[in-house]
Amino acid sequence: MFKANITITLRPSILDPQGKAMQHALHDLGHASVAQVRAGKHIEMLIEAASAAEAEHVATKACEQLLANAVMEDFAVEIEELESAPVA
Amino acid sequence: MFKANITITLRPSILDPQGKAMQHALHDLGHASVAQVRAGKHIEMLIEAASAAEAEHVATKACEQLLANAVMEDFAVEIEELESAPVA
């Protein structure tokens, strides 16, 4: 069993009103040192696979086909091997 | 200038219907090996600070006061130092 940690971020050229709203709220709370905020998605996926390479292939396909918007978003996949299988 | 990579995840005991929906959609697309999906948030923050410790303090405060829901979510903060300051 492998765990894929997937990070999906807006491309730098895409405006991020959600991040801007967070930044303004942080300034109002007194955190003037926060110069920029960008909001993205973090997805954790448990994958049954024979190897880390196979798990990475599945996670990458999942991003391309469903999770990420290729026009506006970039994604990164990190794979770690799990000893046992946690199930929620 | 420091960059804080913040990961906000639902606590394991909290049901995640968004993750379940992603998992069902991935099964429908043929990815039967995906055993679990959990959805969270990834936030990137640029912080003007004198040290990594100060930047981590600001990012942690931001999570506690605004970004994360302490009842239902956990958060993790990673700090990296930037050479120059990218501004979008």
pLDDT band for B83, please (50, 70, 90 cuts). confident
Q: Is pLDDT of A9 > 80?
A: yes
Residue B87 lies in a domain: no
Which structure tokens are listed for B20? 């379940």
Residue A30 lies in a domain: no
Q: Is pLDDT of B88 > 90?
A: no
Residues A29-60 have pLDDT tens digits of 999 999 999 999 999 999 999 999 999 999 99
With CB atoms and an 8 Å threshold, state whether B88 touches A41: no
Nearest CA in chain B to A76: B42
Residue B88 lies in a domain: no
Nearest CA in chain A to B85: A35
pLDDT of residue B84: 67
Cα distance between residue B36 and residue B76, in whole Å: 21
Check: CB of residue B40 under 8 Å from CB of residue A7: no
pLDDT of residue B87: 56
Residue A65 lies in a domain: yes
pLDDT of residue A85: 53
Which structure tokens are listed for B30? 């043929």
Domain region containing A50: 2-12+39-81
Question: Residue B62's domain is classified under what CATH number?
Answer: 3.30.1280.10
Number of independent structural domains in chain B = 1
Residue B76 lies in a domain: yes
Residue B86 lies in a domain: no
Cα distance between residue A42 and residue A61, in whole Å: 16
Residue A63 lies in a domain: yes
Check: CB of residue B38 under 8 Å from CB of residue A43: yes
State percent of chain A over pLDDT 70: 94
Measured between CA atoms, how close is B9 to chain A, in angstroms? Answer: 8
pTM of the model: 0.88
In 3D, which of B77, B75, B76, B73 has the Cα closest to residue B13?
B73
Chain A residues with a Cβ under 8 Å from any Cβ in chain B: 1, 7-9, 12, 16, 19, 22, 25-26, 29, 31, 33-49, 58, 61-62, 65-67, 85-88
Residue B30 lies in a domain: yes
**Which of A10, A16, A18, A44 to mutate: most B Cβ within 10 Å?**
A44
Residues B28-58 have pLDDT tens digits of 999 999 999 999 999 999 999 999 999 999 9
Q: Is pLDDT of B76 > 60?
A: yes
Check: CB of residue A85 under 8 Å from CB of residue A46: yes
Mean pLDDT of chain A: 94
Residues in Cβ contact with A8 at an 8 Å cutoff, skipping those fewer than 6 apart? A40, A41, A42, A43, A63, A67, A68, A73, A74, A75, B42
Measured between CA atoms, how close is B25 to chain A, in angstroms? Answer: 8
